[in-house]
A and B are shown apart, each in its own frame.
Chain A
């Protein structure tokens, strides 16, 4: 199986603090994988290094064989990697559909000159973008509230809108930062189905950070476990669940000793 994303020895130091050290992962094309670990383990830092928000102190990122290290976030997105944020970051004053349309901008061919002159090509493309954005809203079940302002939407809808917006950039690789945060068990269950659906429908490879173990174990085929920036384990759900190092990281040394 070919690897879509490979990281080699990614290390991020903030002054004296080593947030992530020597993170190496190979993610197979079309898989759903997870990145887990206790709070402050460096998961989001990994995301930020892959998506260009941080420039890694050491190490390299390869996407589809091409090196991405040191690229700026918008170039990474253009290359085909989209992400969502742990603390939702929508364009609050814009409507739901405008949020998704903004995601399409990176693939838009006609520019502002054509918009001002109202050339047929630009009008057609804007219409296509609008239609496609509507379809994407439909996929995440928000078609009915397309004209609502993003910051007036309920929390769950905002999470789904963020995913729709990420999909609008036509990614081949999607990074989800805690998609199940704040969801009840029923919603988490739906989310798992949803993640699998978009993987097939949009031909995606998905990497997610998640604290909800039910979701991680249910949906991920492979995962990496970070603790204090160090990769302490990797493997399938069963292997991870029975790995003493992982149990120790999550539950503490004491618990393991007396369990």
Chain B
């Protein structure tokens, strides 16, 4: 499979996606479009965590923190000053919060950039920790972000959060960012820098002996991940039009982690498949939270039942298919071609 064929096929695929989105926009109801939007955002989030955890081997649980930063920065920037006057009812917003305003594209980039900056700053001390300790420390970071967001009402409007955030994040923006993330992640991972990420995951000592500045490369990967987590958070804020600190609890990180682990740590295709599948399932499984009537026996609806089902699914995945759907494998055009020829995929 040569280079130009691959590029052509990729363009065709992107074209098909475009056509599908165009069709979806005109023919699907708001609920289904919302699910499509969530798929794109979840794929962005999964790819960013997979870059950190799956490809560079850093066990990070700080995703909700980066998402919160991206969401707040973006929301502050896209809401109009008038809107902010009516919104900040507890305390008046700080002047720079009150007066800053930017177009959506700039706001999303800013959200990602500020998250990346935080990634850089907290990564510098934290990435010296290994494995589980890093997980605990990043989890702590995410909680700190949430608590701070709760306690600086002049910036974040405290526990009330933001309402009526302009809903700029339509299918085109979300899938545009999703494709951009995908392009970036694929380019990085297919380059020698990506090989080095994986080298650190496989054997840090050997990587050092090969002249790799392990700490610098880890920080690079962590900052990338933080940037796209911030972007994901920013899109999510505009998509849901309302955010508050409670939204960025650990369960949010858990959702992303679940997608990454189910898809396969170290597989881009896995993140895409699981991102799509799990987002759809999360909605579809809402029926388990409704009251169930079998004969004359009625089970009252239990809110949160979906998460119980998902936890079970995750346990089953860990027990029976620890490497996830894809393991570290990828589906690319070469695999597809072999499959079409009837050979082993």
Which of B210, B213, B266 sits near A103, CB closer than 8 Å?
B210
Among B187, B192, B196, B201, chain A packs the most CB atoms within 10 A around the CB of: B192
Which of B195, B202, B212 sits near A74, CB closer than 8 Å?
B212
B contact face: mostly helix, strand, loop, or mixed = helix
Query: Which residue on chain A has the smallest CB distance to residue B198?
Result: A94
CB pair B195–A98 under 8 Å, yes or no, is yes
The answer to whether A93 and B195 touch (CB under 8 A), given A74-B211, A83-B209, is no
CB pair A101–B195 under 8 Å, yes or no, is yes
User: Which of the four size classes fits the interface of chain B?
Assistant: 20 to 34
Q: What 1/0 mask marks residues of chain A from 100 to 140 whose CB sits below 8 Å from any chain B CB?
A: 01111110100110011010001000100100000000000
Q: What 1/0 mask marks residues of chain B from 187 to 214 whose CB sits below 8 Å from any chain A CB?
A: 1100111011011011101111111111
CB pair B266–A169 under 8 Å, yes or no, is no
User: Does A69 reach chain B (CB closer than 8 Å)?
Assistant: no
Among A91, A92, A98, chain B packs the most CB atoms within 10 A around the CB of: A91
Which of B184, B198, B205 sits near A89, CB closer than 8 Å?
B205
Distance of B232 from chain A, by nearest CB (Å) = 19
User: Which of the four size classes fits the interface of chain A?
Assistant: 35 or more
B209: chain A residues within 8 A (beta carbon): 51, 53, 73, 77, 82-83, 85, 89
CB pair A89–B206 under 8 Å, yes or no, is yes
User: Does A176 reach chain B (CB closer than 8 Å)?
Assistant: no
User: Does A72 reach chain B (CB closer than 8 Å)?
Assistant: yes
User: Does B328 reach chain A (CB closer than 8 Å)?
Assistant: yes
B159: chain A residues within 8 A (beta carbon): none
User: Does B87 reach chain A (CB closer than 8 Å)?
Assistant: no
CB pair A112–B208 under 8 Å, yes or no, is no
Q: In the docked arrangement, what's the CA distance between A72 and B205, Å?
A: 12
B35: chain A residues within 8 A (beta carbon): none
Q: In the docked arrangement, what's the CA distance between A78 and B211, Å?
A: 6
Which of A51, A83, A85, A112 sits near B188, CB closer than 8 Å?
A112
CB pair B187–A118 under 8 Å, yes or no, is yes
User: Does B220 reach chain A (CB closer than 8 Å)?
Assistant: yes
The answer to whether A104 and B192 touch (CB under 8 A), given A85-B206, A93-B328, A169-B211, is yes
User: Does A159 reach chain B (CB closer than 8 Å)?
Assistant: no
Distance of B144 from chain A, by nearest CB (Å) = 29
B266: chain A residues within 8 A (beta carbon): 93
A122: chain B residues within 8 A (beta carbon): 191
Distance of B324 from chain A, by nearest CB (Å) = 14
CB pair A105–B188 under 8 Å, yes or no, is no
B208: chain A residues within 8 A (beta carbon): 53, 72-74, 77
Among B205, B209, B328, chain A packs the most CB atoms within 10 A around the CB of: B209
Among A82, A115, A126, chain B packs the most CB atoms within 10 A around the CB of: A115
CB pair B195–A112 under 8 Å, yes or no, is no
Q: In the docked arrangement, what's the CA distance between A116 and B192, Å?
A: 11
Q: In the docked arrangement, what's the CA distance between A91 and B199, Å?
A: 6
Q: What 1/0 mask marks residues of chain B from 249 to 268 whose CB sits below 8 Å from any chain A CB?
A: 00000000000000000100
Distance of B266 from chain A, by nearest CB (Å) = 7
Query: Can you report 20 A-B residue pairs in the complex whose CB atoms are below 8 A from each other?
Result: A53-B205, A53-B208, A74-B214, A82-B209, A83-B209, A85-B205, A85-B209, A90-B203, A91-B198, A91-B199, A98-B195, A102-B195, A105-B195, A106-B210, A112-B188, A112-B191, A115-B192, A116-B187, A116-B188, A126-B192
User: What are the 3 closest A-B residue pairs judged by CB atoms, nearest first?
Assistant: A106-B211, A77-B211, A115-B191
Q: A116-B188, A165-B210 are in contact. List 6 more A-B contacts (CB 8 A).
A: A74-B213, A94-B198, A102-B192, A102-B196, A102-B199, A106-B212
